[in-house]
Structure 1
Amino acid sequence: MELHVVINGRKDLAEQLYQQLREAIATGRLSAGAQLPPSRLLAEQLGISRKTVSDTYATLTYEGLLIGKIGRGTFVNAWAPQPDRVQTATDLACAANLGKWAALPSPMGHPAREELLRYEFIGGATTRHQFPQDEWRRCTQDALRRIAQNSGFYSQPEGVPALRDAIAGHIAFSRGVKCGARDIVVTNGAQQALDLLARVVLEPGSMVAMEDPGYSPARQLFVAMGARVASVAVDEQGLQVDQIPDGTRLIYVTPSHQFPLGMPMSQARREALLDRAIALGAIIIEDDYDSEFRYEGRPTDSLQSMDTRGVVTYVGTFSKTLSPELRLGYAVLPPAIYGAVLKAKQLTDQHSATLPQWALAKFISEGYLLKHIRRCHGVYAGRRERILQRLAGDLSPWFEAVPTVAGFHLAALCKVPVNIPLLMERARQVEVGLYPLDVFFHDKPVRSGLILGFGAIETLDIDPALDKVRDILLQIG
C-alpha cells in the first residue's frame, strides 16, 4: 500500500515532503509504531530523488518524530508529540443530540466472550454445543460458489430471492404466517427491521404504544427517533388494549411470548388489538422472537395470520434459532408500507450480506433448520423443566416462576423482598451470571425478580449454579 503524499510541481520538494509527513504524524494519521516505506521505494512512488527522502527522514528523526531500527527500517517514534486537542462532544453544535444518544441505557447488552462467567443465565443467547457446524459449513461452501458466479453486482435490497422464498415457507409451516416471498424484506437482525419500520412510520413527536415491562432496545430505538412512547401495562392475558392512547401511530407487541414475563396474549386481546389498530390507523409490530420453542399446550396462531386489513408487520429473527452472531432477520410487511420500508433498507445499507443469505436459504430448504429446532427443543425443554423444579422446590421461599409455555427464558418474581443487586454481585463472585427483571419496567409498578435464560447454560450446570444462588440467598437473608 502506498503512503499518501502529494507532491506539487518541482519546487521545495524536501519541504513539501517534510511538512506532509510531519502533519501525518501530528494528526495521528501515521500512528506511533507505523513503519514508513524504504527511502528508495518512496522516492520511486513520488518521482523524486532518494536523497530528498533520506534527508527528510533524517530531519524528522533528529526532531524525535521518527526512529530508525537497524535491519528493520524507519518507524514513527512511539514518543512522538501527540496530536493537537480535537473537538469534544461539548464543542459541537450537535452536543445535545449526542448527549441524548449517550444517555440511552443498554440493558440487553451481552458481555464480551472473555467476560462470560462459568454459569450464565443470560437471556437471548443460544446453546453453543448444539450449533450444526457440519451442515452450516456445507451450506456456506455452496453459498461461496453462488457468489462466485454472481460477483461484481449488488444484490436486491429486499434480500436474496431463494432466502425470502425459504422464509415464507418456513414461517407459514411453523407459525401460520400468511405471506409470500414478495412480502418479505431480509434485514440485519430483528433490530434493523424495527429501525426500518420506525423510520417510515414515525416522525418526531409520534406516539408509540408498547408493553410495560417490555423489550428495552425497541423502546430506546423509538425514543431515539423522537417518538413519544406510551407504556401499556400487561396482565395474564397480555397487553391491556384499552390502555392504548388515542393518536397512537405504532404498536409494538410480543404476543406469542411476552417479553420479558413470558405469557401469551389471549385470543380476545388479539382480536381487540387488531380492532384498535384499525380504528387508530396504526401499524402493529408483532415481534415473534422465539416462539419456535413451545413446550406446553396447543400452538397459537401468529397475530399476522388473523390480520385481514394489512395492519400487522411480522418481525422474526434467526438469532434465537441459530446464532445471535448470524445477524439475519426479516419483516413480513403489509402492502401499504412495503415500498417505503424497501426504500429505507436500500438507503440504509443497500442490502444485507449475501453470503449468509445464500447459506441460510440452503440450510432452510434442505430441512436442516427444522431438524436443528427439534434438537434444540429437547435440550431447552429439559433445562426449562429443571429450573422450574428448583423454583418450585428449594428456591420457592424467594421466587416464583411466571407461567410460560414457549421461548428459552423465563421470569422469576420475588415472593419476598430480595436485594437483587447484592444477589447478582455475590453470584458473580462464584461465577454465576444473574440478570435483573426490573430494568425492563419503565412507567408501570416495578416487579422485582430475575430473568433466567437457559440457552447458554449447559444442562448439567443448572443445579450447581442454582445451589450457589440458594446458598447466597440464605446468607443475605
Structure 2
Amino acid sequence: MELHVVINGRKDLAEQLYRQLREAMESGRLAAGAQLPPSRLLAEQLGVSRKTVSDTYALLTYEGLLIGKIGRGTFVNAWSPRSERLQRATDLACADTLAKWQALPSPMGHPSRDTSPRWDFIGGATTRNQFPQDEWRRCTQDALRRIAQNSGFYSQPEGLPALRSAIAGHIAFSRGVKCRDEDIVVTNGAQQALDLIARVVLEPGTIVAMEDPGYTPARLMFNAVGATVVGVPVDDQGIQVDLIPDGTRLIYVTPSHQFPLGMPMSPPRREALLARAFELGAIVIEDDYDSEFRYEGRPTDSLQSMDTRGVVTYVGTFSKTLLPELRLGYAVLPPALFGAVVKAKQLSDQHSSTLPQWALAKFISEGYLLKHIRRCHTVYAGRRERILARLAGDLSPWLEAVPTVAGFHMAALCKVPVNIPLLIELARKVEVGLYPLNVFFHETPVREGLMIGFGAIETLDIDPALDNVRDILQQIG
C-alpha cells in the first residue's frame, strides 16, 4: 500500500513532502510506531530524487518526529497531536444535540471479560459453556463455502431467503407465530428492529406507550427519535391497558415475560390491548426476547398469533438463545409496515452480514437450535430452582421473588428497606455482580430490588455467590 502524499509541480519538492508528512503525524493519520516507506521506494512513488526524501526524513528525525532503527527502517516517533487545532464540541452548531446524546445513560451494558466479576448475576447473558461450538463451526464453514460461490453483490435488505424461511418455521413451531417468509426482516439484534420500526412509525412529539417498569434501552431509543414516551404501570396481569393515553401511536410490551418483573400478560389483558391498539390506530411491538425458556404451566400464545387486524409487530432475537455477540434478530411485520421498514433497513446498513445469516439458517434447519434450547432449558431450570430456594430460605428476610414462569432472569423485590447501591458496591468487592431494578422505572414509583440473571453464572457458583450476598445483607441491615 502506497503512502498518501501528493506532489504538485516541480518546485519546493522537499518543502511539500516535509509539510505533508508533518501534518500526517500531527493529525494522527501516521500513528506513533508506523513505519514509513524506504526512501528509495517513496522517491520512485512520488517521482522525485532519493536525496529529496532522505533529506526530509533527516530533518523530521532531527525534530524528533521520526526515529531510525538500524536494519529495520524509519518509524514515527511518539507524538501528541495538537488538539488545539481541533474544533471543540461546545463550539459546534450541533453542541446541544451532541450533549443530549453524550448524557444518555448506558443501562444493561455488559462488562468486558477483564472487568467481569467472578460470580455475575447479569441479565441478558447466556451460558457460554453450553454453546454448541462444533455444530456452529460446521455451519460457519458451510457459510464460507456459499459466500465463495456468490456473485459479490450486496444481499437483500430484508435478509437471506434461507434464513427468513428458517426463522418462520422456528417461531411457528415454538411460539405459534402466524407468518410467511415474506413477512420477516432480519436485523442486527432486536435493538435494530426496534430502531427501524421507530423510524418509520414515529415523528418528533408523537406518543409511545410502554410498560413501566420496562426495557430502558427501548425507552431511550424512542426518546432519541423525538417521541414522547409515556410510562404505563403494570400489575400482576401486565400493562394496564385503560391507562394507555389517547393519541398513542406506538405501544411497546413484553407480554410473555414482562421486563424486568417477569410475569406474563393474562389473556384478557392481551385481548384488551389489541382492541385498544385498533381503536387508536396504533402499532404494538411485541418484544418476545427470551420466552423459549418456559418452566411452569402451559405455553401461552404469542400476542401476534391473536392479532386479526394487523397491528402487532413481533420482534425476536438470537442473542438470548445463542450468543449476544451474534447480533442477529428479526421482526415479523404486518403488511402495512413491511415496505417502509425494508427501505429504512436499506438506508441504515444495506443488509446484515451474510456470513452469520447463512450459518444460522443451516443451524436452525439442521435442528441444532432446538437441541441447544432444550439443553439450556435443563441447565437454566436448575439454576432458577436454586435461586428460588435461596430467596425462600436464608435470603427471605430481605428479598422476595416476583412469580415468573419463563426466561433466564427474575426480579427480587425488597421486603424491608435495603440500601441497594451499598449492597451492590460491597458485593462487587467480593467478586459478585448484582444489578438494581430501579433503573427500569420511568414514571411509576420505584420498587427497590434486584434483577437476578442466571444465564451467565454457573450452577455450582450460585450458592457461594449468594452466601456472600446474605452475609452483606446481615452486615448492612
Q: TM range, normalised to the smaller chain?
A: over 0.9
| Rounded Cα–Cα distance in structure 1 between residues aligned with 2:82 and 2:54 | 24
Deviates more, 1:160-169 or 1:33-42: 33-42
CA contact (8 A) 1:65 1:81 kept: no
Aligned partner letter, 1:247: G
Amino acid at match of 1:243: L
Paired with 2:45 and 2:437, the residues of 1 have a C-alpha distance of 61
- Identity over the aligned pairs, expressed in percent? 85
Residues 131 and 322, structure 2, Cα contact 8 Å, conserved in 1? yes
Matched, 1:305 2:302: no
Report the Cα offset of residue 412 of structure 1. Answer: 0.2
3-state SS in 1 of match to 2:256: coil
Q: 1:80 to 1:196 in 2, by over 3 A?
A: closer
CA contact (8 A) 1:212 1:441 kept: yes
Instruction: Give how far 1:33 is off.
Output: 2.3
1:445 maps to which residue? 445
| TM-score of the pair, normalised by structure 2 | 0.99
**Would the aligned equivalents of 1:208 and 1:222 in 2 still touch at CA under 8 Å?**
yes
2:230 maps to 230
Q: CA deviation at 1:74?
A: 1.3
State the alpha-carbon separation in 2 of the partners of residues 142 and 31 from structure 1.
Answer: 39
Amino acid at match of 1:263: M
| Contact 2:238–2:264 under 8 Å retained in 1 | yes
Which 4+ residue blocks in structure 1 deviate beyond 3 angstroms? 79-85
Residue 327 of structure 2 aligns to which amino acid in structure 1? R
**Partners in 2 of 1:415 and 1:14 — Cα distance?**
77
Instruction: Report the residue type matching 2:375 in the other structure.
Output: R
Which residue in 2 is equivalent to 1:267? 267
Alignment correspondent of 1:278: 278
The residue that corresponds to 2:19 in the other structure is: 19
Unaligned runs of 5+ in 1: none
What TM-score do the two structures reach when normalised by structure 1? Answer: 0.99
Q: CA deviation at 1:16?
A: 1.3
Secondary structure of the residue aligned to 2:426 is: helix
Q: Tell me if the contact between 2:164 and 2:181 (Cα under 8 Å) persists in the aligned partners.
A: yes
Question: What's the counterpart of residue 429 of structure 1?
Answer: 429
Between the aligned partners of 2:244 and 2:384, the Cα distance in structure 1 is: 33
Q: Which amino acid aligns with 2:262?
A: G
Distance 1:79 1:182, change over 3 A: closer
Contact 2:201 2:249 in 1 (8 A): yes
Query: Are residues 1:107 and 2:107 paired?
Result: yes
Which residue of structure 2 lines up, in the alignment, with residue 338 of structure 1? 338
Aligned position for 1:43? 43
The amino acid that maps onto 2:44 is E
2-side partners of 1:411 and 1:116: how far apart? Answer: 21
Letter in 1 for 2:97: N
Can you list the C-alpha shifts for 1:106-126, whole angstroms capped at 9, x where unaligned?
111111111111100000000
Q: Counterpart in 1 of 2:147?
A: 147
- Seen in structure 2, the aligned counterparts of structure 1 residues 399 and 149 have a Cα distance that, compared at 3 Å, is same
Aligned-partner residue type, residue 443 of structure 1: E
Q: Give 1:65 shift.
A: 2.0
Count of aligned pairs between the two proteins? 477
Residue 398 of structure 2: aligned partner: 398
In 2, are the aligned partners of 1:27 and 1:84 still within 8 Å (CA)? no
Please give the root-mean-square deviation of Cα atoms over the aligned residues, in Å. Answer: 0.9
Report the Cα offset of residue 79 of structure 1: 4.4
Match of 2:6 in 1: 6
Q: For residues 242-286 of structure 1, what are the alpha-carbon distances to aligned partners after superposition, in whole Å with 9 as ceiling and x for unaligned?
A: 000010000000000000000000111100100111111100000
Q: Are 2:249 and 2:283, in contact at CA under 8 Å, matched by a contact in 1?
A: yes
- Whole-angstrom distance in 1 between the partners of 2:322 and 2:80: 48
Is the contact made by 2:26 and 2:79 (CA closer than 8 Å) also made in structure 1?
A: no
Query: For each residue in 1:313-364, what CA deviation from the matched residue of structure 2 results, as whole angstroms up to 9, or x when unmatched?
Result: 0000000000000000000000001000000000000000000000000000
- Does the Cα contact within 8 Å between 1:64 and 1:80 map onto a contact in 2? no
Specify the alignment match of 1:58 in structure 2.
Answer: 58
Pair 438,327 (structure 1): closer, same or farther in 2 beyond 3 Å: same
